[in-house]
Chains A and B, each alone.
Chain A
């Protein structure tokens, strides 16, 4: 099955600096790569996603890049703010038929933005 590795497990940055979180996946059939943000005690929420036919996607201060050859994808947060402090999860999904897919998550990165 799919295996997703995520690094680093913890990350501290100064407010205004950039943060980068990296993930690798094992299943070359994976074609959907979402990123979720989980604030303390709350549910994970999708912040951005990318599909295998796209190399990069941006949404304001957040961007995700995908390298299918190397099987890795990254989350970039620019101009970090204290409210960006949370745990971020990457995930990979491969569809093999109607409903026959699952999201495999990385172990998460705890991001702390220091004011």
Chain B
């Protein structure tokens, strides 16, 4: 168990809908990352938050948004869903100490858009 909790584990929804994925980082970790993993694709970085603030943005669509709350949990909002958004979405967290940057991954949320 990595200590990173993602809910729900599975999500099936229709095209055009909106969903929210939730991530609780490891205790003490201030950084939260979101990644998308499609079939036969690698891990695509979406966005990073550090202590409530957006720190880095990757290949995140405008239909997607995220935030990190004061208690450090994070939510990834996906709207106007398309079939191509079906993927495994991972959250990872880390504590930045200048040298220690290991990221711990949650179990992922498998999103299926039908």
Query: Hey, which bits of chain A sit against chain B, CB under 8 A?
Result: 6, 32, 34, 36, 42-46, 49, 51, 89, 93, 95, 98-108
Residue of A nearest to B105 (CB): A43
Which of B53, B96, B98 has the most chain A CB atoms closer than 10 A to its own CB? B96
Query: Hey, which bits of chain B sit against chain A, CB under 8 A?
Result: 2, 30-31, 33, 35, 41-43, 45, 48, 50-51, 53, 55-56, 58, 90, 92, 96, 98-99, 101-108
Which 8 residue pairs spanning A and B have beta carbons closest together?
A99-B50, A107-B42, A43-B105, A105-B43, A102-B56, A108-B42, A44-B105, A32-B101
Shortest C-beta distance, B22 to chain A (Å), equals 16
- For the A-B complex, the count of residue pairs with Cβ-Cβ distances under 8 Å equals 68
A34-B107 Cα distance, complex, nearest whole Å? 19
Shortest C-beta distance, A50 to chain B (Å), equals 12
Is A102 within 8 A of B58, CB to CB? yes
| Given A43-B90, A98-B50, A98-B96: A103 in contact with B103 (beta carbons within 8 A) | yes
Residue of A nearest to B56 (CB): A102
Residue of A nearest to B110 (CB): A41
**Chain A residues with CB under 8 A of B50:** 98-100
Is A99 within 8 A of B30, CB to CB? yes
Is B102 within 8 A of A100, CB to CB? no
Is A101 within 8 A of B96, CB to CB? yes
**Chain A residues with CB under 8 A of B108:** 43
Is A107 within 8 A of B56, CB to CB? no
**Chain B residues with CB under 8 A of A36:** 105
| Given A44-B90, A102-B48, A102-B58: A93 in contact with B101 (beta carbons within 8 A) | yes
Shortest C-beta distance, B25 to chain A (Å), equals 13
**Chain A residues with CB under 8 A of B98:** 95
